[in-house]
Amino acid sequence: MNHSAKCMAASLALSVTVWAGTPAKADEARNRAAGEAMAQELCSGCHIIGENQSGPVPDGPAPFPVIADRPGRTVGYLEAYLSSPTPPMPHVPLSKQEVDRVIAYIRSFAE
């Protein structure tokens, strides 16, 4: 294979790799954005949900960045907790998709 053909093959391989990853990244970004909007509406009265949050919250509930960094706060743990929270956290009925979105937002602080 000559140099030109090798360059074209490498370029094609890179294009396929970038294209294949794009939908997943876009879905992930949409989930995080939707999770942030939900957290703003449902969680920001008790939790600090991000760096730009204004307004007071009660002492006790951990900020989302702290939750994300705690050992053992896996997606599975967060799914279980959001599905069956313990007091003082109220039970907020969320669909599986809504839980996934909030978790995507929380986990974004751990990355």
Nearest to 39 by CA among 51, 49, 29: 49
Tell me the mean pLDDT in the region 22-29.
82
Give the start-end residues of each E strand in the chain. Answer: none
Give residues with Cβ within 8 angstroms of 103, minimum separation 6. 35, 75, 78, 79, 82
Instruction: Supply 35's token pair.
Output: 């999770």
| 63 part of a folded domain | yes
| 49 part of a folded domain | yes
Tell me the mean pLDDT in the region 28-43.
94
| 14 part of a folded domain | no
Amino acid sitting at position 90: P
With 70 as the cut, is the pLDDT of residue 12 above it?
A: no
Domains identified in the chain, total number: 1
| 10 part of a folded domain | no
Tens digits of residue pLDDT in 44-63: 999 999 988 877 788 889 99
| 21 part of a folded domain | no
Give the domain range for residue 63: 29-108
CATH number at residue 57: 1.10.760.10
